[in-house]
Structure 1
Amino acid sequence: MHVLTNKPIGIFDSGYGGLTVFKSIAAALPQYDYIYLGDTARAPYGNRTFKVIHEYTWECVQWLFKQGCGLVILACNTASAKALRTIQQQDLQPAYPTQRVLGVIRPTAEVIGNYTSSKEIGVLGTRGTVNSESYLLEIEKFFPDVKVYQQACALWVPIIEAGEYDKPGADYFVQLYLDQLLAQSPGIDTVLLACTHYPLLQDKIQSHLPAGINVVAQGDIVAASLTDYLQRHPEIETGITCNGTKAFFTTSDDTADFDHHASLFFSAPVQSSFTPLK
């Protein structure tokens, strides 16, 4: 396999969803080099255990380090919820003390309270993200007066990855989970899409919600947070090369299938390479 000679920012997701975050990051910071890795051979991560998610995520992060990445973004809520803390606190220092790994939950929690007037937020995510209670804990730190209600949407990722997200059949399952969320409180005025797949359903989600409820995706939030992080950490920023390149890798050997799906999430043509993570 060809190893990149530049020093890109690494962006990781278990599958395709992280490309919605990558799209926003690349739009905000087009000058940098990027490498995206989707672990599609082992996706989805949402229903796996903490141990397995950490094992898979750390393996992918190390692969990105070996490609020259000094900074890796976990553009995956499940990995951010179940693997990031262990990677930051236990894994990095012994083997990669100068590299950094960031997630998408904390940047979102730092600002999401600014979107609500009623001080009630609904969080839609995978079962893994919801069960981790990461959003409850992180939002409490920054907005202790905001009430957070969660709803796991177990079937949304399969619907999206099957290419059915814009079909009439998806409407039933969108309405199902929204009804379950709103049944928890009539005061919810902000809904957070706490899965990077869900922006593909955003139009349907908005259409099935009562008027006045704000739907918030994470891409622009994470991009703004990364911009701020790099300004505050010049020791990291100066190590990133600036050729404006984007490389895409998948752990699935069916790169044509990956490229088809990835192009929908990235809103631009994608041409990927296969990596067995060795």
Structure 2
Amino acid sequence: MGPIGIFDSGFGGLTVFKEIKALLPQYDYIYLGDNARVPYGTRSYETVYHYTLECVHHLFDKGCRLVILACNTASAKALRTIQQRDLPLYPDLRRVLGVIRPTTEIIDQFTVSKQVGILATSGTVNSQSYSIEIHKFFPTIEVYQEACPMWVPLVENNEIDSEGARYFVQQSIQRLLTRAPAIDTLILACTHYPLLLPLIKARIPSHIQVVSQGPIVAKSLADYLHRHPEMEALCTTNGTTQFFTTEKPENFDEKAALFYGAHVQAMQLELV
């Protein structure tokens, strides 16, 4: 038995973890941010897979039997390979889940026009993961994607209310809606983007719904544990949380509160 592992390339996964913790406070958690090697969004499939697998192994070593990849790029580029190639090598029960499927499998609940926009990093857009997954569940839904490469740096540097943030948010949304004016649903397919939500909502028509992943992933995890009692039984329930980062902890702690909404105190995980 052990805690539930939450992994992200940096800080963004804290927006998902905040929702998971609020919905399921009874479990123990370990959050690991690979801040020393961020960003993942521009890296190759092989590099993202290697980095993600290494961090998943670290979480397994710390006792986690269930790990959530709270990172869209890792979910897009590494999850399937880890599930199919690496998990079968373990003699005991281990599971790694992502954030893309929980969002895509219920997207029909949001869209009436059957036209959905995806705002994401270049890596997630290039992977086509959202298009593939949505069309798998709902073949009639049209998917339009827009890469927003400047959004993560703006959030990471706490420039979410700057003139630069307003410019780049406006630019990306305008490009997307010009291509597909009938979009009525926008998926924020990067865990950093909820911090830009006020800017996003101010620049879209009022009938467009904006879908953030945190609440969806939290509900999906609760449902997963209910449907898999054998895994739920392996998750300890003392209500504790530990934070780890591959960067200097003081750097992590300073920015993490912006994403998590509360002070954190992280420990450093040395990558060999």
TM category, shorter: over 0.9
Match of 2:267 in 1: 273
Matched, 1:139 2:128: no
SS at match of 2:179: coil
Matched, 1:90 2:90: no
Of 11, 18, 25, which residue of structure 1 is paired with 2:20? 25
Match of 2:189 in 1: 194
Higher mean C-alpha deviation, range 163-172 or range 21-30: 163-172
Displacement of 1:256 after TM fit? 1.4
- Taking only aligned residues, the RMSD between alpha carbons, in angstroms, comes to 1.0
Aligned residues, how many?
A: 272
Distance 2:92 2:271 in 1: 21
Distance 1:185 1:270 in 2: 41
Q: Which amino acid aligns with 1:256?
A: E
Distance 2:122 2:92 in 1: 32
Of 259, 263, 266, which residue of structure 1 is paired with 2:257? 263
Match of 1:215 in 2: 210
Matched, 1:74 2:69: yes
Displacement of 1:96 after TM fit? 5.5
Match of 1:152 in 2: 147
Q: TM-score, normalised by structure 1?
A: 0.96
The 5 Å alignment of 1:38-57 reads 38-57=33-52
Match of 1:163 in 2: 158
Match of 1:3 in 2: none
Of 101, 116, 120, which residue of structure 1 is paired with 2:111? 116
Q: TM-score, normalised by structure 2?
A: 0.98
Displacement of 1:257 after TM fit? 1.6
Distance 1:51 1:96 in 2: 25
Gaps of 5+ in 2: none
- Deviations, residues 77-112 of structure 1 (Å, cap 9, x unaligned): 000000000000001111365110000001111111
Confirm or deny: 8 A CA contact 1:63 1:277 kept in the other structure.
no
Distance 2:41 2:235 in 1: 31
Matched, 1:60 2:75: no
Match of 1:229 in 2: 224
Confirm or deny: 8 A CA contact 1:31 1:244 kept in the other structure.
yes
Q: Which amino acid aligns with 2:255?
A: H
